[in-house]
């Protein structure tokens, strides 16, 4: 297990409440940070001239984001 993962888990499950971090602090932990390179392709490739498809992709992207956040909390 990487050291930052171990630190993250130990912080989540600290026995003493003052040692336990709140959710916003945990979401900023280095273990959860993702490096984004300049070569990363966008997940959504919908032309903006088709408004219905664009709106649908926005809804899907929002749902994926909410699901990802719920895993972290």
The pLDDT of residue 71: 72
The whole-chain average pLDDT of the chain stands at: 78
At CB < 8 A and 24+ separation, what contacts does 61-69 make? Answer: 69/27
CA dist., res. 49 & res. 47, Å (int): 5
Going from N- to C-terminal start, the domains of the chain cover 1-34, 45-73
CA dist., res. 17 & res. 51, Å (int): 48
CA dist., res. 29 & res. 33, Å (int): 7
pLDDT at residue 26 greater than cutoff 70: yes
Taking only the tens place, the pLDDT of each residue in 37-68 is 554 555 655 566 777 887 888 888 888 888 87
């Amino acid at each position: 297990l990487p050291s930052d993962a171990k630190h993250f888990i130990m912080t989540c499950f600290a026995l003493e409440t003052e040692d336990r971090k709140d959710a916003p602090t945990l979401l900023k932990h280095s273990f959860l940070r993702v490096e984004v390179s300049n070569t990363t392709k966008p997940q959504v490739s919908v032309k903006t001239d088709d408004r219905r498809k664009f709106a649908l992709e926005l809804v899907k992207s929002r749902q994926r984001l909410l699901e990802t956040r719920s895993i972290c909390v």
